[in-house]
Amino acid sequence: MSSPIQCRVGQVFIPVRDMASAIRWYAALLGFEQGVASHGATIYDIPTDGETRLALDANRPDVEAAGPPRFFLWTDDMSATVAHLRGLGVTVTSDVEDIGSVLFVQFEDPDGNALMVCQRT
């Protein structure tokens, strides 16, 4: 069966309440230079490697952040990643888990969004 919809993710939106604060937090987390939000200061495109884009979205401040992580980021060094998270005072919500193909750790951003970092094993 064919479809006109491509099986490729274009962009992931992370709901945030305070755009300026979220930009600072994600810049510290991911190590990018802070820029300016667009679309009336409601969208901020985080610089990413690869095709899939990542954006902070302040258009719906009432969105509930509950639930599991909806995407994950890669790392090549889980120990350094966990130390980085703890150094930033990030709320880490799981131990590092090994499921055979990857190690992963889960944590939250200041808006309560569940995030995850994985390392291939």
Domain ranges of the chain: 9-63, 64-121
Report phi then psi at 24, rounded to 5.
-60, -45
Terminal-residue alpha carbon distance, the chain = 35
| Residue 60 CA, distance from chain mean position | 17
pLDDT tens, residue by residue, 27-54? 999 999 999 999 999 999 999 999 999 9
Sequential pLDDT tens for the chain (121 residues): 898 788 999 999 999 999 999 999 999 999 999 999 999 999 999 999 999 999 999 998 788 878 899 999 999 999 999 999 999 999 999 999 999 999 999 999 999 999 999 999 9
SS3 68: coil
CATH topology of domain 64-121: 2,3-Dihydroxybiphenyl 1,2-Dioxygenase; domain 1 (3.10.180)
Helical spans, DSSP H, in 1-121:
19-30, 78-87
Strand partners, 15: 57
Architecture of domain 9-63: 2-Layer Sandwich (3.30)
